[in-house]
Structures are given as structure tokens and as C-alpha cells.
């Protein structure tokens, strides 16, 4: 068999004759085809399916190319063995932050929820059916033990913990290490590998993305009582951002979102809401339910009664509970690192332009003392500076905090506040021999975070794959894999 080679790292690619990559037909099953992959006691009604090795072989042959999976494995091995080491090594904390966010997003997404209540057992079963070894934290794999350890709950996205892992631990109660190591680790590391390529081969492109890490809150006014939203926003800004003695935690935009929804508020917070006379979204539910009177069919609001009883299929009390749950899971916050080429939640165009404006300085001291002006407003709390994107058009034309911080979108009747957490500009990440080790680390972290977002682009993925294949020696013993590379990445083949 002819072998084609290129590059410098030898990776032997050998595939068994068990599968034919160009066909979903199995030529010959291995002898263990009918054996169970995992032993699951307590599965009396077949809740766990696809548990034989033949299911795995058939799945590989029919769903996706074995050659594509082989390439994924090669890239993952390259990332751990060669490239994501030293200064570019992925710390456990960094990896944990990535996979925990992905899993929390899955839990909040609704796929595993009924009536907005996340069912961890359903989530765990899905992973078991995908051949992941999910078990209790004390090592039990039977369904009865797994089900007993799981929790059903409504996940409020505005309950922000100081440590994301605290929220993750409150949602996931099983041992997901097999799933995390076999799925998330290769997936995240391959994206970091592409980020490594961008960082080391197209560094200037990172600055051009104008990447911004932001936290955005979107408060949409009540249509039945317009003006309630801005009443709350004005009072909250004055109480928090406008008070230099307020802590950074007090100024957290998640708190504003939570107060507008009116769920999971403390007694003191509710007393404060009452003192400023705000009718939030929770109040709206209470006000609507008050219009439903079961004693007089002529005075009750029949439309609301139908709505809160599911067309008279359950009592109003249950309808209220469902409405409160729906309100609780409502996410008013958008946060993360965004590129200029991407959208940032539902922010209007004028606000997006300010977020990615070239008129954002990294010299915050000069902005605070008034010698420099850009499109941001800075508020100091203790040792921390909180920075916000200013609106293009002020709401009232005054010098109030609302006019300095709040953008109003008349088309959606929504108010936006954007906290700017970090900025990537060409000058901000410009490398210099005079940089201290601390500055070098800060710049590398900023640049790699932006590059990680860029790495989701198919164009960068393909370019990076060609680079890694041509920079390493690949000896092809499988003609199907060689054909796959030649077809999909022809620039990686040198005949």
C-alpha cells in the first residue's frame, strides 16, 4: 500500500476492516456485538436503549464518517501532546468554566424540562443512551439509585453565584466525569487548538475583531402599565451604581433583572420595591389573577380565567404556579465575549455600534478624571471600576445616570444597560519586548479568549486543520482516510 507523508509528527492512522467508511453496511460484526456495554440494574422497562456493542458499530457506520472521527481524534491528540502546553496549557479551572457553562445552558434550554422544571433524570438517561457512563457520586450505576440522586427544579438564570461551580453543583447531582472527559474535553480542546493557530499565525486578526466581554440586561416595559420599567431602573441605578459606597455585588445587573421579574426577591427587596411603587412582572400576574372571580361569572375576566386554567383543564392556583415558573426561567441577561461580526442578544444597532466602537479607550484613569472622553461611563466602587456603554441618544437629555447608561429601543419598548468587562483592541494586545510577565499573561488571556470565539468559524477551522496536517507527519495506512483528507482538505495533500 502506498503511503503519503507530510510534516514532522508521525501519527499512524489504522482502521479496522470492521467498517466500510463509504457505506453504512457492516461487513462483519466483532464477536462481542451482542454484549451489553454497561450493566444497568433496575432497568425493568427498557429505559436505557442502544446498550449493545452492535449499536455502537452501526451508529459509527451510519451517522457521520469514521474518517471525520479519526481526524477529530488526531487533532485532539495534537492539542494535548504538542500545542496546548506551556503558556497555552488549558488550566482545570478554565476547562471547568467552559464545560459547566455548556451544561448549564443545556439544562436551561428546555429540552429536558416539563412546565419549565428541569428534570435531571431525563438528562442523565439521554446521556446513558448515548453510551456515557453516568453514575451517582458514590459510584452506583443502577437506574433506581440514579433517579433517587436526581433533582427536578426550576432554574432561575438571574441567581448568579460568585462561583459558577456553585450553581452547577446545585443543578447537577451525578457523576458526569465520563461524559465531560469523552465529549466536552475533546470538543473544547479542538476549539482551543484552532484558537492557538489564530493566535500564532494570524494575531493581527484578533485585534480587528474588536472583541468585547459584556453583560447586558434587557428590561421590556409592561404594555398594560408603561413606565414601570424605567421607574425601577432609575431608582435602582441611583441606589447602586450612583452610590460610591455600594459594593460591586450590589451593582450586579442580574439583581436588576431579578427585581424586574419579581421572583426570588428577599423581604427587604420587596419592601424597597413597594416603597418606590413599582409594579413588576410578578405583580402583573397577581393583578391578573385578582380579576378572576369564581363567585360571579358575570364579573370574572373570562379570557384571563381561560388562560390561567389551561382552558379549564386545571385550577387557577396551578396556572399561577406555571406562570411564576415561566417568569422565573425568563432570561433577561446576555453575557460573554462577543465579536464585532456577531450579534449581542437583542441590542439595537445604535447600541451595538457603541459596544464595538473604536472610540473606546483603555486609559480608564483619563476617562475618570475627565481628560479623555469616549463612549463609556465609569463608576468607582471601592477598588473596582464598573464601566458601562453610553447610549447614542439620551432618554431625557439630562445628566442623570439613566441618560449616561440606558439605551431605549422604541420598537420593542425595551431598555438596555451594557456593562463592559474587557476590551480587545489592536493596541490593547500589542506585544512588546518590554512587557512584564504579568502584562504578557494578561494580553495572552485577552487574545486567546477572543481567538476562542473566532475558532467557531468554519473558515478558521478548515485553515487551521490544513496547517496542523501539513505541519506534522501523517502516515496514511487507511486509503479511505487518505481520500477523506484529499477531498475535504486538498491543500493538506502534496502528491
Structural domain boundaries in the chain: 11-207+438-492, 212-423
Q: Give the residue carrying C-alpha cell 380565567.
A: 305
The parts of the chain modelled with pLDDT lower than 70 are 1-29, 44-46, 57-64, 159-163, 294-299, 495
What residues have CB less than 8 Å from 81, skipping those under 6 apart?
none
Predicted local distance difference test score (pLDDT) of residue 11: 42
Predicted local distance difference test score (pLDDT) of residue 8: 34
Q: Give me the phi and psi of 277, to 5 degrees please.
A: 70, 40
In this structure, the chain runs to a length of 495
Cα gap 357→469, rounded to integer Å: 38
Predicted local distance difference test score (pLDDT) of residue 145: 96
| 397: region left, alpha or beta (phi > 0 left; psi from -120 to 50 alpha) | left
Identify which of 152, 155, 151 has the alpha carbon closest to the alpha carbon of residue 108.
155
Residue 30: all three cell numbers together: 466483532
CB 368 within 8 A of CB 331: no
Question: Greatest CA span in the chain, whole angstroms?
Answer: 88
Predicted local distance difference test score (pLDDT) of residue 20: 35
Cα gap 68→52, rounded to integer Å: 23
Q: Give me the phi and psi of 39, to 5 degrees please.
A: -90, 115
Alpha-carbon Rg of the chain, whole angstroms? 27
Pairing of strands 11-13, 474-476: parallel
Identify which of 164, 162, 332, 185 has the alpha carbon closest to the alpha carbon of residue 263.
332
Q: Give me the phi and psi of 56, to 5 degrees please.
A: -65, -45
Task: Report how far apart, in Å, the C-alpha atoms of 300 and of each of 246, 308, 309 are.
Answer: 46, 12, 13
Q: Give me the phi and psi of 11, to 5 degrees please.
A: -125, 110
| 37, burial (CB in 10 Å: exposed 0-12, middle 13-18, buried 19+) | middle
Predicted local distance difference test score (pLDDT) of residue 103: 96
Predicted local distance difference test score (pLDDT) of residue 296: 57
Cα gap 57→48, rounded to integer Å: 17
With a pLDDT cut of 90, the percent of the chain lying above it is 72
Residue 291 DSSP one-character state = T
CB 451 within 8 A of CB 209: no
Predicted local distance difference test score (pLDDT) of residue 17: 32
Cα gap 16→61, rounded to integer Å: 12
Residue 95: all three cell numbers together: 476547562
Predicted local distance difference test score (pLDDT) of residue 57: 67
Cα gap 49→371, rounded to integer Å: 67
Predicted local distance difference test score (pLDDT) of residue 50: 72
Predicted local distance difference test score (pLDDT) of residue 305: 87
Amino acid at each position: 500500500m502506498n503511503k503519503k507523508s507530510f510534516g514532522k509528527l508521525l501519527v499512524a492512522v489504522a482502521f479496522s476492516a470492521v467498517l466500510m467508511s463509504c457505506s453504512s453496511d457492516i461487513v462483519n460484526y466483532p464477536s462481542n456485538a451482542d454484549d451489553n456495554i454497561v450493566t444497568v440494574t433496575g432497568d425493568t422497562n427498557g429505559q436505557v436503549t442502544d446498550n449493545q456493542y452492535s449499536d455502537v458499530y452501526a451508529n459509527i457506520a451510519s451517522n457521520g464518517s469514521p474518517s471525520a472521527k479519526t481526524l477529530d481524534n488526531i487533532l485532539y491528540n495534537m492539542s494535548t501532546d504538542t500545542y496546548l502546553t506551556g503558556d497555552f496549557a488549558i488550566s482545570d479551572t478554565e476547562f471547568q468554566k467552559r464545560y459547566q457553562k455548556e451544561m448549564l445552558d443545556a439544562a436551561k434550554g428546555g429540552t429536558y424540562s416539563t412546565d419549565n422544571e428541569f428534570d435531571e433524570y431525563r438528562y442523565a438517561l439521554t446521556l446513558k443512551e448515548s453510551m456515557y457512563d453516568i453514575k451517582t457520586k458514590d459510584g452506583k450505576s443502577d437506574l433506581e439509585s440514579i433517579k433517587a440522586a436526581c433533582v427536578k427544579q426550576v432554574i432561575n438564570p438571574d441567581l448568579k453565584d460568585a462561583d459558577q461551580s456553585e450553581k452547577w453543583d446545585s443543578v447537577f447531582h451525578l457523576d458526569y466525569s465520563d461524559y465531560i472527559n469523552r465529549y466536552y474535553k475533546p470538543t473544547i480542546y479542538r476549539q482551543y487548538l484552532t484558537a492557538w493557530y489564530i493566535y500564532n499565525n494570524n494575531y493581527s486578526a484578533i485585534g480587528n475583531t474588536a472583541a468585547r466581554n459584556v453583560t447586558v440586561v434587557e428590561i421590556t416595559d409592561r404594555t398594560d402599565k408603561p413606565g414601570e420599567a424605567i421607574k425601577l431602573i432609575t431608582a435602582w441605578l441611583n441606589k447602586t451604581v450612583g452610590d460610591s459606597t455600594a459594593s460591586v455585588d450590589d451593582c450586579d445587573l442580574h439583581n436588576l433583572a431579578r427585581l424586574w421579574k419579581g421572583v426570588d426577591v428577599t423581604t427587604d427587596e420587596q419592601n424597597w420595591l413597594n416603597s418606590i411603587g413599582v409594579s413588576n412582572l410578578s405583580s402583573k400576574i397577581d393583578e391578573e389573577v385578582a380579576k378572576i372571580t369564581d363567585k360571579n361569572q358575570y364579573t370574572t375576566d373570562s379570557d384571563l380565567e381561560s388562560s390561567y386554567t389551561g382552558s379549564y383543564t386545571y385550577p387557577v392556583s396551578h396556572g399561577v404556579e406555571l406562570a411564576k415558573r415561566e417568569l422565573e426561567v425568563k432570561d433577561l441577561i446576555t453575557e460573554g465575549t462577543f465579536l464585532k461580526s456577531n450579534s449581542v442578544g437583542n441590542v439595537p444597532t445604535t447600541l451595538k455600534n457603541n459596544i464595538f466602537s473604536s472610540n473606546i479607550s483603555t486609559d480608564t484613569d483619563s476617562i475618570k478624571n475627565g481628560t479623555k472622553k469616549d463612549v463609556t461611563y465609569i463608576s468607582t466602587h471601592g477598588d473596582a471600576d464598573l464601566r458601562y456603554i453610553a447610549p447614542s441618544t439620551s432618554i431625557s437629555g439630562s445628566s442623570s445616570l439613566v441618560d449616561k447608561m440606558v439605551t431605549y429601543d422604541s420598537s420593542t419598548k425595551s431598555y438596555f444597560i451594557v456593562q463592559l468587562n474587557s476590551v480587545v483592541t489592536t493596541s490593547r494586545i500589542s506585544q512588546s519586548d518590554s512587557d512584564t510577565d504579568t502584562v504578557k499573561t494578561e494580553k495572552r488571556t485577552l487574545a486567546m479568549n477572543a481567538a476562542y470565539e473566532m475558532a467557531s468559524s468554519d473558515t478558521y477551522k478548515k485553515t487551521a486543520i490544513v496547517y496542523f496536517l501539513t505541519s506534522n507527519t501523517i502516515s496514511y495506512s487507511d486509503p479511505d482516510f487518505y481520500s477523506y483528507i484529499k477531498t475535504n482538505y486538498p491543500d493538506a495533500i502534496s502528491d
